[in-house]
Amino acid sequence: MGNAKDYYSKLLIFSISAGAIGLVVGAITALFGRVLIAITNYREMHAFYLLPFLAFVGLIIVSSYQKYGKNTAKGMGLVFAVGNNEEEVIPKRMIPLVIMGTWLTHLFGGSAGREGVAVQIGAVVGHSVSRKLPYKEAGKILLVAGMAAGFGGLFQTPLAGIFFAMEVLMVGKIESRALIPTAIAAFAASTTSHLLGIEKFTATIESPGAFAFSSAWKVILLGLSFGIVGGIFAFGLKKAKQLAAFRFPDPYKRIFFIGIAVSLLFLLLYSGRYSGLGTNLIGKSFETGTIYSYDWILKLMLTIVTLAAGFQGGEVTPLFAIGATLGIALAPIVGLPLTFAAALGYIAVFAAATNTFMGPLFIGAEVFGYQYLPFFFIVVITAYVFNGNQTIYGGQKEIDWV
């Protein structure tokens, strides 16, 4: 009886703490997200005048981290290190540094995402609250809850946020102890950010018809392609970071010279079509805009180079764009509706690059509809299996099955 009482008292404390974490993270992600949207809109209208200064802004980002960041420059790597008990502290200064660095990266045209920022915000808040509690397990549980709050609050997909946060720290292991606090944090953050003006992306897609073998094998073929591309992105990002660090050991020179090169490329390639989040490409994919067969590979390459240089942001929204545009390119080959194939790519390249399964499955359901879950399950599990066991998260661990 005593053990049960202790368990439920801890659960109550963790749940109340998770609710507070969700409220705080939801408010911060709302501010971050709304400013980022405004920045994106402004850059798209003035790309010709802003993109040439990307390298110079990079110097400001590096200087900020060098002077004030300590080990926060590790970004998601630090979050994973704390989650896997390899580091003890995530400094609170990570929040303003990563937010400002990402805003500057996007304003001046770097190709990067935003989920890394949201997850880092959530991780800092969750970790900070856990250090106030006298329970050993509080650190892992509230860290996961905070990560879910960041993801769910920014994307307005709380179910995806819950499962992404619980599975991403270690491949093959779900942090089930954190389920209830994580759910509370994710839904609290999603509700808070929505009330503060963050809108959820949804899209209506053309149905392939009833689930049958004739369509399932086509989905498997697409899943194989998406898995390979997601694995290539993760592998390419890791190698590009290593090569950039080898060629330019000085982070100032690294971000400046690579920044000059990519800003020129952004200008030459349709004046910023591949800059920023990639939401322009996502919109075109689901609203019958013009998608070129090479959009996905240019977005992939330019995102890798931007992040390897040291610019701030995340990878997930560009992965959505890469997957959606790749889906459009492959749809005629397998004979599936364009928007349906784009939706499959949207979630499956994300699954492959992050080495996760449940989070991508639920983001598909929350964004495109639960009626497509059988198709989403097939494409996600295929991509997950055929990603070459690659991941964009260097600190992600793999469970030892032996």
CA distance 41 to 37: 6
Average pLDDT, stretch 151-173? 89
> 187 in a domain, yes or no?
yes
pLDDT number for residue 401: 43
Same domain, 100 and 224: no
Distance, in Å, from the CA atom of 124 to the CA atom of 111, rounded to the nearest integer, reads: 25
Q: Taking residues 104-120, report their average pLDDT.
A: 95
Give CA 223 to chain center in angstroms: 19
Instruction: Verify that 305 and 389 share a domain, yes or no.
Output: yes
For residue 202, being part of any structural domain is answered with no
CA geometry: angle 357, 363, 364, nearest 5 deg: 90
- Indicate the pTM of the whole model: 0.95
Give me the residues paired with residue 170 across strands: 397
For residue 323, tell me if it sits in a domain: yes
Residue 200 lies in a domain: no
Q: Is residue 266 part of a domain?
A: yes
Mean pLDDT of all residues belonging to the chain: 93
Same structural domain, 51 and 138: yes
How many Cβ atoms from other residues are within 10 Å of residue 5's Cβ?
9
Same domain, yes or no: 167 and 247? no
Residues 139 and 177 in one domain: yes
Bridge partners, residue 397, by sequence: 170
Q: In residues, how long is the chain?
A: 402
390, part of any domain: yes
How many beta carbons lie within 10 A of that of residue 59, not counting itself?
A: 15
- Phi then psi for residue 263, to 5 deg, are -65, -40
Q: How confident is the model at residue 168 (pLDDT cuts 50, 70, 90)?
A: confident
Q: What is the CATH number of the domain that holds 117?
A: 1.10.3080.10
Cβ neighbours, 10 Å, residue 61: 26
Please spell the DSSP secondary structure of 81-119, one letter per residue: HHHTTS-----TTHHHHHHHHHHHHHHTT----SHHHHH
AA letter at 393: Y
Q: Measured between alpha carbons, how far is 220 from 376 in angstroms, rounded to an integer?
A: 10
- Specify the pLDDT at position 83: 87
Instruction: Judge whether 201 lies within some domain.
Output: no
List the one residue out of 106, 90, 121 whose CA is nearest residue 40.
106
pLDDT (tens digit per residue) in 253-273: 999 999 999 999 999 999 999
Task: Taking residues 214-242, report their average pLDDT.
Answer: 96
CA pair distance 3, 260, nearest whole angstrom: 61
pLDDT, tens digit, 9 for 90 and up, residues 121-144:
999 999 999 999 998 889 999 999
Which whole-number Å values give the CA distances from 127 to 79, 143, 168, 358, in the listed order? 9, 5, 16, 24
Same domain, 334 and 236: yes
Q: Which of 160, 195, 230 is the last residue of a domain?
A: 195
Q: Give pLDDT, residue 186.
A: 98
Same-domain check for residues 217 and 292: yes
Please tell me whether residues 26 and 108 are part of one structural domain.
yes
pLDDT reading at 34 higher than 50: yes
- Asked if 70 and 91 touch (Cβ cutoff 8 Å), the reply is yes
- pLDDT on residue 394: 82
Q: What is the Cα–Cα distance from 6 to 114, expressed in whole angstroms?
A: 39
Q: What is the pLDDT of residue 145?
A: 96
Span 164-177, average pLDDT: 79
pLDDT score, position 399:
59
Q: How far apart are CA 342 and CA 222, in angstroms?
A: 10
The stretches of 46-69 forming alpha helices (DSSP H) are 47-50, 54-64
Instruction: Give percent of the chain with pLDDT exceeding 70.
Output: 97
Banded model confidence at residue 1, pLDDT cuts 50, 70, 90: very low
State mean pLDDT over 267-280.
96
Q: Which of 136, 169, 195 represents a domain boundary (last residue)?
A: 195
Sign of the Cα torsion 361, 103, 72, 307 reads: positive
On whether residue 203 sits in a domain, the answer given is: no
106 lies in the same domain as 48: yes
Amino acid at 272: G
φ, ψ of residue 194 in degrees (nearest 5): -65, -45
Domain that includes residue 54, residue range: 2-195
The answer, yes or no, to whether residue 86 has pLDDT greater than 90, is no
* Same-domain status, 182 and 253: no
Residues 180 and 217 in one domain: no
What pLDDT is attached to residue 172? 64
**Alpha helices (runs of H) in 175-277, residue ranges in sequence order:** 179-195, 213-247, 251-268
- Residue 402's pLDDT band, with cuts at 50, 70 and 90, is very low
Q: Among 343, 345, 385, 381, which residue's Cα sits nearest to residue 365?
A: 343
Residues 374 and 299 in one domain: yes
Q: In this predicted model, what pLDDT tens digit does every residue of 350-391 receive, in sequence order?
A: 999 999 999 999 999 999 999 999 999 999 999 999 999 999
How many domains does one find in the chain? Answer: 2
Element (H, E) at 24: helix 2-45
Give residue 400's pLDDT: 55
Point out which residues pair with 171 in neighbouring strands: 398
Distance CA 222, CA 326 (A): 10
Would you state the pLDDT for residue 2?
A: 53
